Amino acid sequence: MNTSYSQSALRHNQILIWLCVLSFFSVLNEMVLNVSLPDIANDFNKMPASVNWVNTAFMLTFSIGTALYGKLSDQLGIKNLLLFGIIVNGFGSIIGFVGHSFFPILILGRFIQGSGAAAFPALVMVVVARYVPKENRGKAFGLIGSLVAMGEGVGPAIGGVIAHYIHWSYLLLIPVATMITVPFLIKLLKKEERRRGRFDMAGILLMSVGIVFFMLFTTSFHISFLLISILTFLSFVKHIRRAQEPFIDPALGKNVLFVVGVLCGGLIFGTAAGFVSMVPYMMKDVHHFNTAAIGSGIMFPGTMSVIMFGYIGGVLVDRKGSLYVLTIGIALMASSFLIAAFFINATPWLMTFIFVFVFGGLSFTKTAISTIVSSSLKEKEAGAGMSLLSFTSFLSEGTGMAITGGLLSIRLLDRRLLPIDVDHSAYLYSNLLLLFAGMIVISWLVTLNVYHRSRRHD
């Protein structure tokens, strides 16, 4: 009996180890190339609107794939899907590295990477729930969460050092390391029976086409792309109202607090992602920093601060409530953006502190939005609702990067708007920071208003 128990515990620990590896590298893959975007722009002689697709392409398939894997897991089995995702992620990495000198191949590689890496957040938590005993799940989730935060933290530093001293293309090979988990997971995970079920492929296609054309519009600002996107989304809404098992449950649209929480949360997360994608360009143009200094000196302290702020935010939500934490998070982000906008020509190390408080505020905001959205759902809606929040969050990050790249390229904001004495090269970035502050404050006000109204009706 003891021998059987010890073997079972050993198996659970081994599974957890390999899940931690997957979780760490999936987040690392999101962050590691961001700091190298200006270098990629120089190599290909392209504007940020095009170059930001290096990250947008990954986030696009990553967000859609996260929802897809979650829907397919009951039908095809977690083991098969997780192994498939690992292999596809590694395959995309190799394609991107081998063809990195051809921009379309690089983007294709990132598309493939994202479609494979999406399996990790979608399935890892399900594997923990199925294989790790209840009494150890809290520790397992905590360990995975810590490694995810660490991946976010060290990503810019690793990316900056490798890009500066070797070449940014080698960053594409980092996800190949997840391939070492394949033989172990094949042995450790049980084979599952396939279940019959319907899958809303038409809904997936309509939604994906609408998203892609909207992303193209944010890059080129051609009205035709926007019109196609709107028409496709209208067709998608019509479809999910008629489908028997729609990809997104239209009943969730009747929950006003849920809809506003998801949309405003997405706007905040997208704004933060846009800021992160802008910083490397700004530090190159305004302060002439090299890639290693941007990754290690500017971005690394901020991304690592997520670990501390995440814990504090969780404690404050329980003690003070989600609106209190959301307000603090918005205040931290908005004030940081405003300080950076007005003092953009000051010492470049000011941006290090700005990054810390932006990521701290973002961590607070994510905790609060998750709590608000989850509390607005009935028990039977919780799974679909929280999955949709996760999907929207990832998608918003990709959209924020695309829109920021477009604004950096068309130079619409490249003029003096604030009464400050800065170099002409800083106008664009200062105005973007002002725009970021305005966007998140508007999101906060809308969420606050709808939250209080919903509570009065209750």
Contact 262, 373 (CB under 8 A): yes
pLDDT in single tens digits along all 458 residues of the chain? 455 546 666 777 777 788 888 878 777 776 778 888 888 989 999 888 888 888 888 888 888 888 787 777 767 777 888 889 889 999 999 999 999 999 999 999 999 998 998 888 777 767 776 777 766 666 676 667 667 767 777 788 888 888 888 999 999 998 888 888 888 888 877 776 666 656 777 888 888 888 888 888 877 778 898 899 999 989 988 888 887 777 777 777 788 888 888 888 889 989 988 898 888 888 888 888 888 888 888 888 877 777 777 777 777 777 888 888 888 999 999 999 999 988 888 778 888 889 889 888 888 888 888 888 877 777 666 666 777 777 888 888 888 888 888 888 877 777 776 666 666 667 888 889 999 999 999 988 988 888 777 766 55
Q: Which residue in the block uniquely carries the two structure tokens 């996800």?
A: 175
Rounded to whole angstroms, the Cα distance separating 84 from 429 reads 41
pLDDT of residue 436: 94
Q: Using an 8 Å Cβ cutoff, are 111 and 119 in contact?
A: no
Give the pLDDT confidence score for residue 98 in this predicted structure.
93
CB 81 within 8 A of CB 198: no
Query: What pTM did the predictor assign?
Result: 0.82
Rounded to whole angstroms, how far apart are CA atoms 428 and 440?
A: 19
Q: Give the chain as a 3 state SS string.
A: CHHHHHHHHHHHHHHHHHHHHHHHHHHHHHHCCHHHHHHHHHHHCCCHHHHCHHHHHHHHHHHHHHHHHHHHHHHHCHHHHHHHHHHHHHHHHHHHHHCCCCHHHHHHHHHHHHHHHCHHHHHHHHHHHHHCCHHHHHHHHHHHHHHHHHHHHHHHHHHHHHHHHCCHHHHHHHHHHHHHHHHHHHHHCCCCCCCCCCCCHHHHHHHHHHHHHHHHHHHHCCHHHHHHHHHHHHHHHHHHHHCCCCCCCHHHHHCHHHHHHHHHHHHHHHHHHHHHHHHHHHHHHHHCCCHHHHHHHHHHHHHHHHHHHHHHHHHHHHHHCHHHHHHHHHHHHHHHHHHHHHCCCCCCCHHHHHHHHHHHHHHHHHHHHHHHHHHCCCHHHHHHHHHHHHHHHHHHHHHHHHHHHHHHHHCCCCCCCCCCCCCHHHHHHHHHHHHHHHHHHHHHHHHHHHHHHHHHHC
pLDDT at 378: 76
Degrees (nearest 5) of the Cα angle 214, 93, 78?
80
What pLDDT, on a 0 to 100 scale, did the predictor assign at position 109?
93
Residue 79: predicted pLDDT: 82
